Amino acid sequence: MVAKLFKLHYEYIKVALSTAMEYKVNFITQVFAMILNNSVWLVFWWIFFNKFQMLNGWTMEDVILLYSIVTISYGLGGFFFGNRLNISHLIVNGKLDFYLTLPKNILYHILISKSNFYDVGDVIFGVVLAIISLSLSQVPLFLVFSISSGIIFVAFAILVNSLAFYMGSAESTSKHLFFGTLALSSYPMSIFKGAAKIIILTLIPAGFISGIPISLLKEFNLGWFLVTLGFASLILFLSIKVFHRGLRKYESGNLLYVRT
Amino acid sequence: MNLTKYYYIGKINFVNSFVYVWDRVASSAFVGLIIFIFTQLWQIIYSEGQIISGFSIAMMLWYFVMTESIVTSLPSIVKRVGAEIKEGQIANYLNKPYNYLLYQYSTYLGKAVFNFFLTFLIGSIVVLPILGGIEFNFLNIPLIFLAVILAISLNFILMMFLGMFSFWFEESGSLRMIYNKIVFTLGGMLLPLEIFPQWLSKISKLLPFSYIAYYPAKLFVNFNFGLFWQVIRTQIFWIVIFSGLTLMMYKIGVRKVSINGG
Amino acid sequence: MVIEGKKTKNSNYIIQVENLSKSFKLKIKEAGLVGSFKSIIKPKYKKVKAVKNISFNVKKGELIAFIGPNGAGKSTTLKMLSGILYPDSGKITILNKNPQKDRKTLSYNFGTVFGQKPQLWFHLPAIDSFNLFAKIYDLDQQEYTKRINYLIKRFEIQDIVKHPVRKLSLGQRMRCEFVLALIHKPKILFLDEPTIGLDVVVKKTIRELIKEINKKEKISVILTSHDMGDVESICERAIIINQGKIIYDGKFKDIKKDYLEKKVISISSETPIKLSIKKGIKNIEKRKFDLKIEVDTKKIAIKKVIDALLKENKINDILIEEAPIEEIIEGIFKKK
């Protein structure tokens, strides 16, 4: 049964590839935009570390590693579960009905039915950075974190998009929350103190996406490693629960807006 | 030429923005998040309360609030101009390029000014609790505001210039992206040019982009009349140059459209 | 009553609906800024009863039409049958299963065509959508190939399956939508306004295909449509729903016989309107150069009326319509 789900997923990815090839210009533009965006931040940090050398114990190499984790985990999420950011749009526009008439697990089907092929650009960018900054011994741990951070990104997207089951204008709210998390993940965790630090280790899980993994790659600590994996599992579990709760509300037809 | 109608267009767009204020608040809140992150960043660097390249931490943070407010206030017109060229609506303005440009400008300025104040307000809310206020000579405000308006206008004419490429190229979106990123970096939005290595700082000062973000913000945190005149002069210089280039490209592009029938 | 797994007297019913009801809570918001505030602090709800205690059964291979005005509860009923919406009370049994509890299992047996909600991927060629659906329904590759080739031939879409759907005309798209709905040999086909926007020729083709598939594969068809032509040509049985209640459940031709013998003619003329025929004619709107009349075709043949109109006037525009569904319903109520 699981094999069948993978087969379907593979089919959707094939479709995304052929669409990308069909709209080549669009595809290349998006990959280009991605690389440009990422490069700007690297230029920023290069200028910054050129002047200041260190930021609370963090160096340019650490920032490169951080970028690598963030781009890889974000890109993997976009490639494999490209619809994660559209869930609120589907809910608001009654497009969940399509999935409800089909014999597959709703959440999974929604997630895999779109694959952003250009997010491969992010993954490749991240891999190149990783090759530059990782030592061989760090690779296995790095792979583990790429997956756990990828899971946190997707689970968080599901959570905030599920707000659409409960409130109007959830589409823009969820986008801002998600990209806010992405932004916070892109900075060394050591700059955050006090309340901010607590928030990025709980509500806005930027700390578990990049901050903790990077410090564990520099200096391994079994306790925090287990906490990170535990957090990823927890947020995944929570997101699935919250989505299905909201789905029940959708199916009883009592959303705020009338579905056509 | 009846110019007062363009004033009214600008005013309507400014007032109209209040209707969509909640959308803008959300995006401005996002900018507020970035500003917050930078307060954390700079507090680490300035842990000993020192002055770096002439900037105290207060100056550095207010600098950033100012650059972010200017750069993020700018409505994107390259896409719209490109679309109007491609869909032929520009045909309506074939004989009246001044009208077309002025119309776009007044629409744009109305929105940009509103966005600027909103973002500046939110940025101030983030930064004030950390810093207290800033030593400020309030008499300089109108002068600084003039520099801000010119900065916004310079950005406008640069974007119009890029939009003209739609007469020849399908995909002008990438041009806009590159432009944005250059303003972020060489324009001094993220870091003041004093932080740059010498050679990069020199290049950036020669380019028009620094007059959109860096120079108005510098005036805001460290005003002096000498700098003020230099900035205003140079902003006007770049605006004139690119207005000329844009009009020229407009005329050539329009001729191409009339010959080829769009 | 159907007991799961056991064959009982009623097991030849593929769908059984008992005392089905559904209401919606709609938020009431007063106009203006104050209203908006109020609705956030103390929201007020209005309960709308969309479906009130309806019951009906469907046999295998039956073709049923749901007729009714907008908002009557047709789509709501259809959604509850297909498992998209949960009823408030009542029981639905489809193929001895409950659409709420066994959504996934049942969906292997459902095919849907919603005229206003296409299922084909817009940017892809139809064939790609077909292949995706084959995977979604876990179809065996060989069986699927046979099936899709048959359907493509039968629906005559050989020349268009490889083109992106966005480049197809509405008629071509609908044919592909039907193929999509039939790939997995569903036992029940739900059709919601399937011919909306289509021209006469395409409508005819689609109606014939539906009838043919129904005969060949014994697919039960549940159709909702405002097009009486659809209903008349496809379905034997019609269920009329009005304000959430079933007010008629029987043969369509009986409705026609009793209630549909009225036609509405609208004409405009260059000369002042005249009509010598009075029998069976009811004036709906009368002006100097325009006329709208209702003709009772039981009392007078429509041909006679049209001939008279054409002879006595210089017509520059004419429109002939069926009596609107609301009138039919009114008629049914009156007879009751």
Q: What is the ipTM of this complex?
A: 0.86
- Is-contact A94 A260, C-beta < 8 A? yes
User: What angle in degrees, to the nearest 10, is found between the helix axes of A139-161 and A60-80?
Assistant: 50
Report yes or no: B78 and B175 within 8 Å, Cβ to Cβ: yes
Alpha carbon distance B165, B162 (integer Å): 6
Cβ(A75)–Cβ(A126) below 8 Å: yes
Contacts of A4 in chain C (CB under 8 A): 135, 138
Which among A4, A11, A251 has CB closest to C132?
Answer: A11
Mutation target to probe the A interface, by most A beta carbons within 10 A, among C21, C29, C94, C136 is C136
Q: What is the mean pLDDT of residues B12-41?
A: 82
* Interface B:A, ≥3 CB–CB pairs < 8 Å: yes
pLDDT at C6: 43
Average pLDDT over residues C238-264: 83
pLDDT in tens, C167-181: 999 999 999 999 999
Residues of A in contact with C29 (CB under 8 A): none
Q: Which of A36, A47, A192 minimises the CB distance to B195?
A: A47
Give Rg (Cα) of chain A: 19
Instruction: Report the residue of chain B nearest A41, measured CA to CA.
Output: B185
The tens digit of pLDDT for each residue in C33-69 reads 666 666 666 767 788 888 999 999 999 999 999 988 8
* A256 domain-assigned: no
Residue A253 counted as domain residue: no
E-strand spans in C2-109?
13-28, 44-59, 63-67, 89-94
Residue C120 pLDDT grade (very low, low, confident, very high; cuts 50, 70, 90): very high
Name the amino acid, one letter, at C139.
Answer: L
Residue A97 lies in a domain: yes
Q: Does the residue A102 lie in any domain?
A: yes
Question: Domain for residue A60, yes or no?
Answer: yes
Residue C3 has pLDDT above 60, yes or no: no
- Report the mean per-residue pLDDT for chain B: 85
Q: Is residue A20 part of a domain?
A: yes
Running DSSP on this structure, what letter comes out for residue C67? E
Question: What is the domain extent for residue A64?
Answer: 2-247
For residue A215, give every residue at least 6 positions away whose Cβ sits within 8 Å of its Cβ, in sequence order, or none: A189, A224
Looking at residue A260, its pLDDT comes to 38
Question: What tokens does C53 get?
Answer: 């205690």
Tokens of A238: 């929570």
Check residue B93 and give its pLDDT.
61
Taking the CA of residue A182 and the nearest CA in chain C, the distance in Å comes to 30
Q: pLDDT tens-digit profile of A65-101?
A: 999 999 999 999 999 999 999 999 999 888 899 999 9
Residue A259 counted as domain residue: no
Cβ pairs A/C, distance under 8 A: 63
pLDDT at site B148: 95
What residues of A are in the B interface, CB distance below 8 Å? 25, 29, 32-33, 36-37, 39-40, 43-44, 47-48, 50-52, 55-56, 172-173, 176, 179-180, 183-184, 187, 190-193, 196
Q: Do chains C and B touch (3 or more CB pairs under 8 A)?
A: no
At position B139, the amino acid (one-letter code) is L
Tokens of B83: 């679309």
In chain A, the N- to C-terminal Cα span, in Å, equals 34
In chain C, residues with a C-beta closer than 8 Å to the C-beta of A104 are: 104, 136
Contact predicate C245/C53, CB 8 Å: yes
> What pLDDT band is residue C4 in, cutting at 50, 70 and 90?
very low
Q: What is the band of A233 on the pLDDT scale with cuts at 50, 70, 90?
A: very high
Q: How far is A168 from chain C (nearest CA, A)?
A: 11
Q: Do A36 and B178 touch (CB under 8 A)?
A: yes
pLDDT above 90: percentage of residues in chain A? 67
Subunit contact C135:A258, Cβ cutoff 8 A: no
Cα separation, A251 vs C167, in Å, equals 34
Query: Would residue A8 count as lying in a domain?
Result: yes
Task: Residue B256: name the closest of B166, B159, B171 by CA.
Answer: B166
CB contact under 8 A, C135 and A100: no
Q: What is the pLDDT of residues C306-328, one digit of tens each?
A: 999 999 999 999 998 877 666 77
- Split at pLDDT 50, 70, 90, the class of B204 is very high
Do A36 and B33 count as a contact with CB atoms less than 8 A apart? no
Chain A residues with CB under 8 Å of C24 CB are 253-254
Closest CA to A210 of A227, A196, A228: A228
Domains identified in chain A, total number: 1
Cβ-based burial of A258 (10 A; exposed 0-12, middle 13-18, buried ≥19) = exposed
Q: Which of A203-212, B145-154, C252-261 has the lowest mean pLDDT?
A: C252-261
